[in-house]
Amino acid sequence: MRSFGMSRYFGISLAASIIALQAPVHGDWLEDSTGGISAGDPQDVVISLKVNPLNNAEAACLAVTLARALKSNNVTNVTLFPTLDGVALGDGKIVRNPKFRCTTPFPEPQPVSLKNNLERFLADNPNNMVVCPICWAERYGDEMPDYGFLPPDGSPAVGKMILDAEKVVDF
């Protein structure tokens, strides 16, 4: 009798699995109307950069290029958030280094400098880059960043930005 109960349980489980696997699968990136994450709806995206551009120019270029691409494709609220060693992205001396050439093809077919890439991202709103205040102070003291917004002490800006984000991309 036990074997019948186990086999009946197994049969029901197997049938439920087969039915579930035969259900149509829709990717939200394929259809705007399926609900959930939709490629057609503006979203709040935070792109975090934690590596120093001097040590990993590829990650810095990719983070800025992705931010520009998302911002231009109806993702209306894109924030670049350099943390840890990535706060060097706010330092003009680092960003102006001529060795940084972003070869990612958006939107220019030829390489563009990290400086030009960052300035184009920040052109309409320099506050689209929020520099981690703790990380910046640890590395630069009381200096102000050349690029981006540095929230004042006690500001809820960083917490609000992260809590309101629908997606966080980390480099």
Nearest to 47 by CA among 68, 33, 28: 68
What's the whole-model pTM score?
0.73
pLDDT at res. 32: 41
Burial letters 8-27, b for 16+ CB under 10 A, else e: eeeeeeeeeeeeeeeeeeee
How is the chain split into domains, by residue range?
1-41, 44-170
pLDDT at res. 121: 92
CATH of 44-170, one of 3.90.1170.30, 1.20.120.530, 3.40.1260.10, 3.30.70.270: 3.40.1260.10
Report the distance separating Cα 83 and Cα 22, nearest Å: 44
Nearest to 78 by CA among 87, 67, 64, 65: 67
pLDDT at res. 27: 37
Could you list the mean pLDDT of each consecutive 10-residue stretch along the chain, which spans 171 residues?
A: 50 42 38 45 86 91 90 79 97 87 68 88 91 96 95 88 89 89
